[in-house]
Structures are given as C-alpha cells and as structure tokens.
Amino acid sequence: MNLAPQVETAELSDTDLDTVSGGQAGGSSAGVGAAAGLYAEVGPLSVAAGLGAGASPQGVAADLNFNAAALH
C-alpha cells in the first residue's frame, strides 16, 4: 500500500511560464529591472540579503529576502 501523495506534472513552454509567473521585467515586454545582493560571514555568523525590483507594462514587482545563520 503506497500512502505517498501523487502529484501530476506537466511541461510548460517559456511563453506559458511567463504568462503564469508574470514574466521577467526587462524581457520582451519592454520592462526594466534591477537586483542587488549581499553575503557576509563574520565569525560564526552568516548573513545574506537580496533586493529585486522590476517594472513592465503589466505592473511593478519587488522582492526582499534576508537570511542569518550561525555556522558550526
């Protein structure tokens, strides 16, 4: 008896994926985008951060991420 969940997969073209995800700013949709990141290790501490933003005729998107971890 297999109790593992069953997942159906499908293959998407790049065009279909752009439609689902909103596409990439700066691509064929005549948008602009920018991204920046930082990674640092100080003693036993590791810190990473990133910032991204994009604008296209479809709208504006931005993201920010931060991660900190103690190294062993």
Asked if 40 and 47 touch (Cβ cutoff 8 Å), the reply is: yes
Does the reported pTM lie above 0.75?
no
The answer to the question of residue 48 being in a domain is yes
Structure-token pair, residue 46: 């590791």
Domain count, the chain: 1
The answer to the question of residue 6 being in a domain is no
The answer to the question of residue 62 being in a domain is yes
Tens-binned pLDDT, residue by residue, of the chain (72 aa): 677 777 777 787 777 776 665 544 444 556 788 888 988 888 888 999 998 888 877 788 888 888 899 876
Range of the domain at 64: 32-72
**What does the radius of gyration of the chain's CA atoms come to, in whole angstroms?**
19
Structure-token pair, residue 40: 């640092």
The answer to the question of residue 49 being in a domain is yes
The answer to the question of residue 72 being in a domain is yes
DSSP the chain: ---SPP-------HHHHHHHH---TTSTT--EEEEEEEEEEETTEEEEEEEEEEEETTEEEEEEEEEEEE--
The answer to the question of residue 25 being in a domain is no
